[in-house]
Amino acid sequence: MRRRLFLTGPIGWGKSTAIAQALGDAARRGGGFFTRRRLDEQGRLTGFTLESPDGTRKEVFLDFTGSSPRMNPGAFTGLGRELLADTAAPFLVLDEIGGMELLCPEFMEALEDAFARGIPCIGVMKGPGPAGALVKALGLTQTYLQAANRLRSRLQSDPDTLLYPCGQFDEHALALARQWAQEYAYDGFFRPV
């Protein structure tokens, strides 16, 4: 199994769910982050948070409660960078990369450093379709699309990375995530739920 596994595909197809399911309780031992949806009492999407795998640290990076979306790049330059720099973590969860954080040099430096350290990573990589939707929804520029394409190309050409294109609720994606977790995340105590 390659050291880095990234699932990619359309929004809502179960990529993050497959990773969370494969890791189970072992996710708490990892560095990196999960991206979590924020919902109001009626179940409407109000934004997104960056959250540590153990759930103890979180910060809103995208807020939809106003008249227009508000981005908080500081969530990536601060908390996101700190979570990537956790040298005690045996692996990183990167759920998800390929969004607005690509425009944060401090975050990208920490991501490149994590890759250079050779730390095992499992995550979700935003595909070209969702990346294009971000440009429209958030008013991001071509600079963002170029950064997203560069990262995707880098991961695709890396022999130690598998960028797996998922189908909807893809059983093979779940099997790959479980295989990765078995090799890099479990330590004899933690087992998937």
- Looking at residue 193, what is its pLDDT? 45
- Looking at residue 19, what is its pLDDT? 96
The CATH number given to whatever domain includes residue 146 is: 3.40.50.300
Residue 173 lies in a domain: yes
Give the Cβ contact number of residue 65 at 10 Å: 12
Q: State the 10-residue block means of pLDDT for the chain, 193 residues long.
A: 93 90 94 95 94 96 92 96 93 93 95 94 89 79 89 95 92 96 78 48
| Side-by-side strand order, sheet with 121-125 | 70-71, 58-63, 45-51, 31-39, 92-97, 121-125, 4-8, 161-165
Residue 193 lies in a domain: no
- Looking at residue 134, what is its pLDDT? 78
Residue range(s) defining the domain that contains residue 172: 4-184
Count of the separate structural domains present in the chain: 1
Residue 165 lies in a domain: yes
Closest CA to 36 of 17, 22, 25, 50: 50
- Looking at residue 50, what is its pLDDT? 96
Residue 191 lies in a domain: no
C-alpha 68: how far from chain center: 24
- Looking at residue 130, what is its pLDDT? 75
Residue 66 lies in a domain: yes
- Looking at residue 188, what is its pLDDT? 54
| Confidence (pTM) | 0.91
